[in-house]
Structure 1
Amino acid sequence: MKKAFKILLIIISVCIFVYAVKLYFYKQNTCVKLKIENKNLSYSVKYKNLKKSVDFTLDNGGNYYIAYNSKIQFIGKDGKSYNVIENPNFNITSIDYKDDKLYYSSKDKIYCYNIKNKNNSEFASGIPNYGDYNKSIVKVDGDDLFVSIGAATNSGIVGEDNNWKINEPYAHDITPKDITLKGVNFLNGKTGAFQSYGTKSIKGQVVPAHFPGNASIAVYNLNTKKGSTFAWGIRNVTAMDFNSDNKLICVVGGMENRGSRPIMGDNDYIYEIEKGFWYGWPDYSGGDPIISPKFKGKNDLGFLLENHPNMNPPSPVYQYNKVSSLGSAVVDKLGNIGEKNCIFFYDKIDNLLYSFKYPKVAKKEIVFNKTSVIKSMKLYNKSLLILDSSNGYLYSIDKGKLNSIKNLKEYNNIYIYLIIFIVLIIILILRVRRD
C-alpha cells in the first residue's frame, strides 16, 4: 500500500512539474506569436525589452539605434547596449542614419548626432510642430534629408477640437506657399482658415508663405543644411520611403469628421509625391474636391482658398477603406520579401500588415497580437524589421524559414529536459517497486 502511494505521489508530482514548465514557457512566448497569412514568410524575435520605443535605424555595420521619447539606445551586433543620447526635454518621434551620423526629430527641431565624436548638434529648427499632427518623420535619401510636417488642424480651421490652443492661443496652420482666401469664416463667423482661434479672414486676403510650413514635406541638404519645400498640401504623413526609382512614397491620413469644418467620407491614402506639387489640402483629398458628393458633413462644404495652385491635384496610387487607420509603411524596393517595389503598410485599427503593388489589390500578410502597436518598419539585409512598441519586440520577417525558429529550438530544449526528468522518475519508480 505504501509503495502504491509513493508511486501515485511521484506520478502526480511529474504531472504538476510538466504542466508548470509548459505553462511558464507558454507565458514567456505568447507575445511573439504572429499569424502569418503569407505561407512563404516566417518570423522571429530579434530583440526584446523595447517597450515605449518610437523608431529605430541601423548603421552600416548592422548595429541598431532604438529611439525612445527622451533617449536613443545603441544595441551592438555583440549584444552590447547603452544610451548614446538621453535628454528628458526631448520628444523624439523619428530617426535615420547616414555616414556615421544620426538624424532625429524632436518637437520643433531636427538634430544630428555624430557617432564618432559623440557631438550632438541642432540641424534645423522652427518646425511648426504644435498642432494636431506634430510628429515629424525624417528620411535620408542621398545627400538630402526629407522631413514631414503635419497640419495643425483637421481641415484648416482652429476650432473647439484643437485642445492645444490653450497653450498656443495664436497658433494656426502656416502655409509654405502664398495662398489667397475666400473669406469663409466658422464658429459663428469668428474664425477663418489659416488664422488663429477667434480671428476672421476676409475675401481676397493673401496669406504669405513661410518656410517651413504645415501640411508639407521639407527637404534639407545634409552638407549645407539649406532647406526648401519639396511638396505641400499634404495633411498628415504617417510614413515615408523611397522605391527603386528613387520616388518618394508616403502614407497620408485623410480628413476626419470633427471640428468646425467636419469632413465625412474621407479615407487614408498612399501617394507617390513629386517635387513642387500641391496635393490639395484643405480643399481636396485623395485628388477629389471637398465639394464632391464623396464628402458629406453637417455643414455645407465649400472651398477655403480663392485660387488653387493647380486645378487637378495628383491622385493617390492607393485609397484605403478607412480614415485615421494607416500608420507605418516601407517599400520593398529590391523585392526581398514581396514583389519588387511593393509597399508594406500597417493598419493600426485592425492590427494588420498588408502588401500592395499598383494596380493589384492589397493583400493581407500578417495579423498582429491585439495588444501590438507597430511604430516603425525597415527593410535591412533581406529582412523586414517591425518594431512593436507596446510589447517591446523587434520582429524579423523573412522568406523561406520555419516560423519562429528560435522558439522551436527553445521548445526542443524544454522537451529534452522533460524527457530526462521523466526517465529519472521512471528509474525511481522501478527502484521503489523493487524495494
Structure 2
Amino acid sequence: MKKLLKVLSILIFISAAAFTIQFYFNKTHPKIQVELKDNALSCNLKYSGLEGSVDFTKDEKNNYYIAYKDRIQVIGKNGKSCDIMKDPVLDIHSIDYSKDNLYYSSGDKIYRYNLKQGKNTVLLKNIPNYGDYKDSLLRINGDCIYISIGSATNSAVVGDDNKWVKENFYAHDVTPEDITLGGINFGKYRRGAFQSYNTRSLKGQIVPKHFPGNASVITYDINNGNSETFAWGIRNINGMDFTSTNKLICSVGGMENRGSRPVVGDTDYIYEIKKGIWYGWPDYSGGDPVISPKFKSVKGSPLQFVLDNHPSTNPPAPLYQHKNVGTLGSIAVDSSGNLKSKDCIFFYDNSDNMIYSSRGAGSPLAEIELGKNSIISSMKICDESLMILDEKEGYLYSIKRGKVNAGTEIGRNIYLYLLLTVILSIILILKNQNS
C-alpha cells in the first residue's frame, strides 16, 4: 500500500507540474489561430498584446513600430516596448519608416516623426478625408511617399447613405483634374455628381481640378517636399505595395448597391497603378463602363455616365478581379520571391478571413486561414517573412518558409509529454499491484 501511495504521489506531482508548465506556456505563448494551406510555410507568433493596432513598420535595427489610433509604440529587438508618442487628437491609419523617420497619416494630414529628435512635423494638410473612405494609406518607395485618397461617396453622388453629410453639409468629391459633367441628376431631389447634397449638375458644367483630390494617389518627395497627383479615378485603395521593378500594386474597392446612384454587379480588384493614368471612377470600374452588361441597373436609377468627354474610353483593366465587393483588404508583394514566386501578391479577404496568393494569371490560391475573430489591419514583407497584423486578436504573425520555431513545437508537445507520463505511471501502478 505504501508503494502504491508513493506511485500515486509521483503521478500527482508530475501531472501538476505538466499542467503548470502548460498554463505558463499558454499565457506567454498564445495559441496560433492560423491554418497554413502550404506545407512549405510555417507560422510564428512574433508579438502579442497589440489589440487595436492599425499598422506597423520596422527599421534597419529590427525595432518594430506599432501604430494605434492615437499613439505609436516601439518594440525593441530585445522585446521591450514603450510609447514613443501619444496624442488624443490623432486618428492614425497608416505608418512607414525611412532613414530615422516615421511617416504616418492621421485625419487630413501626413506627418513625419523624427526618431532622434522626437520632433513631429506636418508635411501635408487639407487632404479631403471626410467622406466614406477617409483613411489614407501611405507607403514609401525610395525617397517618395505614395499616399492614397479615397472617394467621398460610393459613385460620386452625395446621397442619404452618406451619414457624414450631417456634419459636413457642403462636402462632396473633389476632382484632381478638370472634368466636364453630363448634367445627369438622380432621385427625387435631382442630385448631381461632384456636387454638394441635394444640388443639381448642369450639362457641360466644368468642375475645376483641386490638389489634392479624391479618388487618387498622390506622391510626396521626401527630399524637396514637392507633391503631385500620381494617378486618379481610383475609388478607394485598401492595400498598397511595390514589385521588384517598383510597380505600384493596389487593392481597390468596387462600387456598391447603395446611395442615389447605386451600382449592382461590381467587384473588388487588384491593379497596377501607373503614373498619369485615369482608372475610370465613377463611370468605369474594372476597365468596363457602368453602362455595360456587367453592371445592372436598379429600378428608378438606370446606370448612366455622369461625365462628358472621358479622359479615356479605355481605362486599364485590373491584374485581378475578385469575386466579391467590399471585402478585399491589405496586400503584400513578395518582391524577392522568398515565400512564393517573385512578385507574388498576397491579399486578405475579410469575407472568409483568408489570405490568398496571386501571380497575376489564373485563380488565386488560398494560403492562410485565420481565426474567425481575426481582423487583419496590415500585411508587409519583412526579413523574408510575410508579417500579418491582427488588430482584433492583437497578434503580429510571421509567415516564412521552413519549420516552425522550437518554442511553438514545445508548446504543441506538452500534451504528448503529459500523456506519456500518465501512461508510464499507470504501468508502474499495475506492476506494483502485481508484485
**Superposition TM-score, scaled by structure 1 size:** 0.92
Q: How far apart are 1:419 and its partner, in Å?
A: 7.1
* Residue equivalent to 1:341: 343
Query: Map of 1:253-264 to 2, 5 A cutoff?
Result: 253-264=253-264
Are the equivalent residues in 1 in contact too, given 2:67–2:94 (CA < 8 A)?
yes
* Residue equivalent to 1:407: 408
Corresponding position: 1:314 with 2:288: no
Distance (Å, rounded) in 1 between the aligned partners of 2:399 and 2:118: 32
Deviation per CA, 1:236-284: give whole Å up to 9, x if none.
Answer: 0001111011111110000011111111110100001110000000000
Secondary structure of 1:204's counterpart equals: strand
* Residue equivalent to 1:105: 105
Query: Map of 1:22-421 to 2, 5 A cutoff?
Result: 24=23, 28=27, 31-298=31-298, 299-401=301-403, 403=404, 405-412=406-413
- Which letter does structure 1 place at the counterpart of 2:60? N
- Which letter does structure 2 place at the counterpart of 1:102? L
Q: How far apart are 1:410 and its partner, in Å?
A: 3.1
Are the equivalent residues in 2 in contact too, given 1:10–1:425 (CA < 8 A)?
no
Distance (Å, rounded) in 2 between the aligned partners of 1:41 and 1:245: 25
Q: Could you list the runs of 5+ residues in structure 1 that have no partner in the other structure?
A: none
Secondary structure of 1:409's counterpart equals: helix
Distance (Å, rounded) in 2 between the aligned partners of 1:280 and 1:192: 18
Distance (Å, rounded) in 1 between the aligned partners of 2:187 and 2:197: 9
Classify 1:85/1:24 alpha carbon distance in 2 versus 1 (closer, same or farther; 3 Å).
Answer: same
Q: How far apart are 1:199 and its partner, in Å?
A: 1.3
Classify 1:425/1:355 alpha carbon distance in 2 versus 1 (closer, same or farther; 3 Å).
Answer: same
Are the equivalent residues in 1 in contact too, given 2:11–2:425 (CA < 8 A)?
no
- Which letter does structure 2 place at the counterpart of 1:137? L
Deviation per CA, 1:188-239: give whole Å up to 9, x if none.
Answer: 1432100110111111111000000000000111122211100000000001
Distance (Å, rounded) in 1 between the aligned partners of 2:377 and 2:11: 46
Are the equivalent residues in 1 in contact too, given 2:7–2:428 (CA < 8 A)?
no
Q: How far apart are 1:361 and its partner, in Å?
A: 2.2
Secondary structure of 2:259's counterpart equals: coil
- Which letter does structure 2 place at the counterpart of 1:409? I
Secondary structure of 2:409's counterpart equals: helix
Classify 1:415/1:243 alpha carbon distance in 2 versus 1 (closer, same or farther; 3 Å).
Answer: same
Are the equivalent residues in 2 in contact too, given 1:150–1:214 (CA < 8 A)?
yes
Query: Map of 1:414-429 to 2, 5 A cutoff?
Result: none
Are the equivalent residues in 2 in contact too, given 1:7–1:429 (CA < 8 A)?
no
Distance (Å, rounded) in 2 between the aligned partners of 1:246 and 1:288: 26
Classify 1:155/1:404 alpha carbon distance in 2 versus 1 (closer, same or farther; 3 Å).
Answer: farther
Distance (Å, rounded) in 2 between the aligned partners of 1:196 and 1:404: 56
Are the equivalent residues in 1 in contact too, given 2:233–2:282 (CA < 8 A)?
yes
Classify 1:352/1:192 alpha carbon distance in 2 versus 1 (closer, same or farther; 3 Å).
Answer: same
Are the equivalent residues in 2 in contact too, given 1:55–1:376 (CA < 8 A)?
yes
Q: Could you list the runs of 5+ residues in structure 2 that have no partner in the other structure?
A: none
Distance (Å, rounded) in 2 between the aligned partners of 1:327 and 1:48: 21
Runs of 4+ in 1 over 2 A off after TM superposition: 2-31, 403-406, 409-434
Classify 1:364/1:415 alpha carbon distance in 2 versus 1 (closer, same or farther; 3 Å).
Answer: closer
Q: How far apart are 1:187 and its partner, in Å?
A: 3.1
Are the equivalent residues in 1 in contact too, given 2:7–2:429 (CA < 8 A)?
no
- Which letter does structure 1 place at the counterpart of 2:410? K
Secondary structure of 1:164's counterpart equals: helix
Classify 1:172/1:31 alpha carbon distance in 2 versus 1 (closer, same or farther; 3 Å).
Answer: farther
- Which letter does structure 2 place at the counterpart of 1:250? C
- Which letter does structure 1 place at the counterpart of 2:383? N
Secondary structure of 2:94's counterpart equals: strand
Identity percentage of aligned residues: 50
Classify 1:76/1:4 alpha carbon distance in 2 versus 1 (closer, same or farther; 3 Å).
Answer: closer
Are the equivalent residues in 1 in contact too, given 2:4–2:432 (CA < 8 A)?
no
Deviation per CA, 1:107-138: give whole Å up to 9, x if none.
Answer: 00000000111111101111111100011001
Are the equivalent residues in 2 in contact too, given 1:109–1:122 (CA < 8 A)?
yes
- Which letter does structure 1 place at the counterpart of 2:42? S
Are the equivalent residues in 2 in contact too, given 1:192–1:199 (CA < 8 A)?
yes
Distance (Å, rounded) in 1 between the aligned partners of 2:34 and 2:335: 24
Q: How far apart are 1:70 and its partner, in Å?
A: 0.5
- Which letter does structure 1 place at the counterpart of 2:191? T
Deviation per CA, 1:324-368: give whole Å up to 9, x if none.
Answer: 010000111110011001100000110001110122321110111
Are the equivalent residues in 1 in contact too, given 2:91–2:107 (CA < 8 A)?
yes
Q: How far apart are 1:399 and its partner, in Å?
A: 0.4
Secondary structure of 1:407's counterpart equals: helix
Distance (Å, rounded) in 1 between the aligned partners of 2:292 and 2:424: 75
Distance (Å, rounded) in 1 between the aligned partners of 2:88 and 2:428: 60
Secondary structure of 1:74's counterpart equals: strand
Instruction: Name the Cα RMSD after superposition.
Output: 2.9
- Which letter does structure 2 place at the counterpart of 1:361? S
- Which letter does structure 1 place at the counterpart of 2:408? N
Are the equivalent residues in 1 in contact too, given 2:22–2:414 (CA < 8 A)?
no
